Chains A and B, each alone.
Chain A
Amino acid sequence: MGPGKQTALAALRERIAALENRPPLAETPARRLKAAKGFVAAPPGLLHEIFTPDERNAGAAFGFALGQSRPLITPQRPAVFYIELAHEAQERGLPYGPGLDHFGFASETLTLVRTQTMPELLWAIEEALGCRAVAAVIADIGGAPKILDFTVSRRLSLRAASGGASIFLNRYGTGREASAAQLRWRVEPAVSQGQSYDAQSPDAPRWQVFLEKGLLSTEHKQEGSHWLLDWKNGFKLVERTQGHGPAGEPPAPTPLPGAQPAALGDGLLKTA
């Protein structure tokens, strides 16, 4: 075999590899999930699901989504969209400008979209993803709408991959439907440390974060897939020894009914 043939073969192999990689579902994040001062910094163009067991945790989940989307903002992509159903505003509250600024998220970057129906909400997400100036889309979805099935989430994940903006679907409840999300988080609020001069006063936001689905790089695998995080104008890992969580050590993620337990590491399932 001459060198010409070899290069041709190599080119063919590359093409086949590219074709096989075409659905960017679950392959690449493993290499790319890099540490940001101890915590995972997800690259753009992914579909995240952020679950929290209860609607009353909406503030915590929203804060986590904001924290994840803030590093994605660049001068080329200055906008973040928040999309929700108009009639759900009283349930969980509306994003509040001064609160965003206090959190460290410039309120003028956030555009609020309030739709009447679920199909319109999905349309708005897709439209926003198609825009080159959008860094992230945060969608607040209460309950388990029928229309948001695997096909739709796959569509969204492909859109995110091709457009380069990330989606954060804020979901509530313990049910987990099949979805094509590359990363699925479970976020619960945690009792904060207490300010140094006043232990009785609530301190910076603190979350317990579990990665239920998604690939981790080797350094994170050793740590497991749960973290206790503080928000101090950036995610900050809380030392385990402090033991400020409700049960000292956070419990292992429990397998959830109706879905495969998330496979961590390399043997990732394509769905669920």
Chain B
Amino acid sequence: MLNLPRWATDCLKRRDPALLASGRPFALYEKQKSALKLVAVDASVSRINVWPGHNLTDARALIPNLEAREIDRPLVESLFADFADWHSYASPIVAVLPDMSAFGDLALDITGVSHLFGGEEKMLKSVLGRLRELGLEASGAIASSIGAAWALAQHRPGAIIGEDADVVLAELPVSALRLAPEQIATLQQLGLKRIGQLYAYPRKALQARLGASLILRLDQARGLIDESIKPRLPAPERFVERRFAEPISLLDSVMETTRDLAIRLSGLLEAEGMGAQAFHLMVYRVDHKVMCLSVRAARTTRDPAHLARLFANRAERLTGEFDAGFGIDMIRLGAAEVSALDPLQAGAFDGQGGSGDLIRLHDRMANRLGETAVLRTTAVGSHMPERAARLEPVIQPPAPPAAGTVADRKRPLRLLPNPEPIRVTAEVPEGPPADMTWRRVTYRFVKAAGPERLGEEWWLDHAPLTIDPPPGKDEEKPRTKKSRYGWDEEDEPPLPRRSMLFRDYYTVEDDGGRRFWLFHDGLPGTEGAGWYLHGFFS
């Protein structure tokens, strides 16, 4: 557990060198119930006995040269989150502990990693040392439960306790239990000042007076109840990493390293007979930022060449955004969703090309272009043209073939995602169309077949089929809305213009030989009925 009591002022000072150079006392205030109260102060302010909670005007009177600013909480919090990510150099599971404040408390799960630093004591020292070098005030402690570690970091910085947490905690004041200020005040009134006094106190009485949260906090601190933290970065199950004595900054060098790491990771996985589906590349910058690139594979894999290519493709898209800052001092490649992979599977039948090659191609495309950009068609048992075919990302496992698909009806080769309204004249009412005007051009039909009446499946609990007005032709910006007949039927825009009962489809051919698929929506003569163009035959 690390505690950075002056994170808000320290991080702003680091961002603003002029402020640091001026050496003036610095405080942050916030408007609370129409009073301006201090919420964070730096060391020179607290030396004069001004603490968070004081009025800003009082503080100004006490410290004439006080530099006070209003706190920008989202900024401070996001800076702290980035800062937390950077700590994953020490342990893969890092979390911000938001119980008391959205910034300032950092929890690291160091189970099984402390030996890399030469023991818990050395690890704590090195982590805190790095923070002090950066000009951040920090304290830390190691304990077997989150609650105890927090209490120690606040009141016994540098303590490392294992099993005897109860004894050490007994001496600490009750404020070390992550309680609300009112609870602490009540405990003080009761004369309960040390945690040890609570051990023997009847729990029922405590709960009745102070709420269940006190009991919870007490048990968490004593390690009687498990408490878990929510890691910020995806926690890889297997990882390899490389640290650089001299920070690197070029994207090419990063990719070079990625290739090496991929080979090492693949060796690691192969030794265990495992493969993985998700891979995360974490790039640690000297200035405490972590960039995380993730790729997914459709099939479990451990092929280093394939991995390196996936990351290279992904990185190509980043070139503009890639910013190494002051340099990169560590790169880690992790694998998640690890499962057993038959050792024969890789390379045995690769000589003849075939399916493995195709799956790798799908992976590369989906990871570079986006999962929803590479699609396959699957048939769905439905009469409605929009629903009869479904586009699915190829990277997903194929769905079982749907039952009841209608085979070999005359259907167009291309279907417009949104049917477009057209103007049609027919020689006889309700007869086949004689011409149409579509996109300001008139087509005269020489052949027509139909109608084929397609009705909505009333027995299915679908949202009623609607026809969205097609986007205007003059619209310049690329349309981001996904196709209506597709993989996203659930998040269709809620635009129930008019429900539909049936459509009459016609196949027509104009005098130039173009073959279209038109439909008439609704009963002729009723309100809202109209003609639409839906597809093109070859």
Q: Which residues of A contact B (CB under 8 A)?
A: 56-60, 62-64, 66, 76-79, 86-87, 89-90, 92-103, 107-108, 110-116, 120, 123-124, 127-128, 130-134, 188-192, 194, 198, 200-202, 205-208, 231, 246
Contact = CB atoms under 8 A, between A and B. Distances in A.
Given A60-B514, A86-B373, A206-B513, A200 B447 contact: yes
Given A60-B514, A92-B536, A107-B379, 19 more contacts: A56-B536, A58-B414, A77-B353, A87-B479, A87-B480, A93-B415, A94-B391, A96-B411, A97-B379, A107-B377, A111-B374, A115-B369, A120-B369, A188-B513, A189-B514, A189-B538, A191-B509, A191-B513, A194-B447
Given A108-B376, A131-B358, A96 B413 contact: yes
B23 interface: no
B355 A133 contact: yes
B316 to A, nearest CB: 8
List the 6 closest A-B pairs by CB distance, nearest first: A63-B538, A132-B353, A59-B536, A93-B414, A189-B513, A87-B478
Nearest to A53: B512
A198 B449 contact: yes
Contacts of A112: 374-377, 391
Nearest to A198: B449
A108 B353 CA distance: 19
Interface stretch (B47-55, B224-232, B359-367): B359-367
A102 B169 CA distance: 77
Contacts of A127: 361, 364-365
A219 B509 CA distance: 33
B144 interface: no
Contact of B415 (A57, A99, A111, A189): A99
Nearest to A64: B538
Contacts of A95: 377, 413-414
A66 B414 CA distance: 12
Interface of B: 352-355, 357-358, 360-362, 364-365, 368-369, 373-379, 385, 388-389, 391, 394, 406-418, 439, 441, 446-449, 470-471, 478-480, 483, 507-509, 511-515, 535-538
Contact of B417 (A90, A97, A198, A208): A90
Contacts of B385: 96, 98
A102 B515 contact: no
Contacts of B407: 101
Nearest to A55: B439
A37 to B, nearest CB: 19
Nearest to B534: A93
Contact of B358 (A62, A79, A190): A79
Contacts of A56: 439, 441, 514, 536
A123 B368 contact: yes
Contacts of A62: 413-414, 536, 538
B448 A200 contact: yes
Contacts of A59: 412-414, 514-515, 535-538
Nearest to A93: B414
A100 B448 contact: no
A201 B450 CA distance: 9
A contact patch SS: mixed
Contact of A90 (B360, B364, B418, B514): B418
A206 B513 CA distance: 8
B515 A133 contact: no
A81 to B, nearest CB: 9
A108 B377 contact: yes
A124 B369 contact: yes
| Among B389, B410, B513, residue most surrounded by chain A Cβ atoms (within 10 Å) | B513
A58 B424 CA distance: 21
23 contacts: A59-B414, A59-B538, A60-B514, A62-B538, A63-B413, A76-B354, A87-B478, A93-B536, A94-B414, A95-B413, A97-B389, A98-B385, A102-B408, A108-B378, A112-B376, A113-B374, A131-B361, A133-B353, A133-B361, A188-B512, A189-B514, A192-B447, A201-B507
Given A59-B536, A108-B376, A191-B446, A76 B353 contact: yes
A128 B353 CA distance: 13
B513 A192 contact: yes
A64 to B, nearest CB: 7
Contact of A99 (B394, B416, B514, B535): B535
Contacts of A114: 369, 373, 375
B412 A99 contact: yes
Given A89-B417, A102-B410, A107-B379, A133 B373 contact: no
A90 B416 contact: yes
A124 B355 CA distance: 18
Contacts of B389: 96-98, 107
A190 to B, nearest CB: 4
A99 B357 CA distance: 28
B394 A111 contact: yes
Nearest to A200: B447
Contacts of A207: 513, 538
Given A100-B377, A114-B373, A132-B353, A191 B511 contact: yes
Contacts of B514: 56-57, 59-60, 189
B513 A132 contact: no
Nearest to A113: B374
Contacts of A134: 358, 361
A132 to B, nearest CB: 3
A66 B413 contact: yes
A75 B483 CA distance: 32
A86 B414 contact: no
A101 B401 CA distance: 15
B409 A98 contact: yes
A201 B412 CA distance: 15
Nearest to A121: B369
Nearest to B443: A56
Given A63-B538, A101-B408, A133 B413 contact: no
Contacts of B357: 131-133
| Among B379, B394, B411, residue most surrounded by chain A Cβ atoms (within 10 Å) | B411
Contacts of B368: 120, 123
Contact of A205 (B360, B448, B515): B515
Contacts of A191: 446-447, 509, 511-513
A123 B411 CA distance: 32
A141 to B, nearest CB: 15
